Amino acid sequence: MKNLYLSAALSFLSVLAMAQTKSDPAAKAILDAVSAKFKTFTTVEASFSYKVENAAGKALSTKTGSIKMKGTKYRVSFSGQEIFCNGTTVWNYDKAANEVTISNLDASSGMITPQKLFTNFYDKDFLYLLNGEKKVGNKTIQEIEMTPVDKSKPFHKVYVQVDKAAKTIYSTKVLENAGNRYSYTVTTMKTNSPLADNVFSFDKKKYPGVEEVDLR
């Protein structure tokens, strides 16, 4: 179950960057601006909340997570699990099992990383439409409705909300074909702060008794 939660979190990071038979130029301009803004950051640290609802809108669970990024490096913490990547190696740590799975990061394989998910590869995967703007607190939020080109996807609609002034993602809602809805909201974001490289590598000395499963 925890692996499913973590997969969902990474799916969230993917739809932040991705996105009718023709896409809306106004929506594309917003997504392009988000992508361009992300590329200016040397580092990103963000926390987010994650809510699962059924088709009737009843909340099934609420969790929180965080992510750190620097160049090709990243670290994701979510629901008792952590993923570390130092740019070449990926460690997936399960706290309950005290087990870490180690694999190589193969950029040529099309492996999805958080960095890719904030940049402009959405053109190939989604059609998108700007639904309009609304105020959330003191923010002006632009909502983009995204429909996957591949109809075999397990979801049929994604709603991405963008902070108009900051040009960053505010929230994302994924509507599954099975009826469940997954909502993610960025609660804090800090950029361009110093982050040591060792933050992105798994240090087994800090996890006594950890079992290693090396798939390299």
- Any idea where the domains of the chain sit in the sequence? 2-19+23-214
140 - beta bridge partners?
135
Spatial distance between the Cα atoms of 176 and 196, rounded to a whole number of angstroms:
38
Q: Cα dihedral sign for 58, 163, 22, 148?
A: negative
Q: What is the pLDDT of residues 26-75, one digit of tens each?
A: 998 998 898 889 889 999 999 988 899 998 888 888 989 999 999 989 99
Helix (H) or strand (E) holding 14: helix 2-17
Q: How many CB atoms lie within 10 A of CB 160?
A: 29
**Mean pLDDT of successive 10-residue stretches along the chain, which has 216 residues:** 54 47 83 89 91 88 91 90 93 96 75 61 77 93 90 86 92 90 90 96 95 94
> What is the pTM assigned to this prediction?
0.75
Spatial distance between the Cα atoms of 62 and 74, rounded to a whole number of angstroms:
23
**What does DSSP assign to residue 41?**
-
Q: What is the pLDDT of residues 119-131, one digit of tens each?
A: 655 667 788 899 9
Spatial distance between the Cα atoms of 145 and 25, rounded to a whole number of angstroms:
13
**What does DSSP assign to residue 4?**
H
CATH number of 2-19+23-214: 2.50.20.10
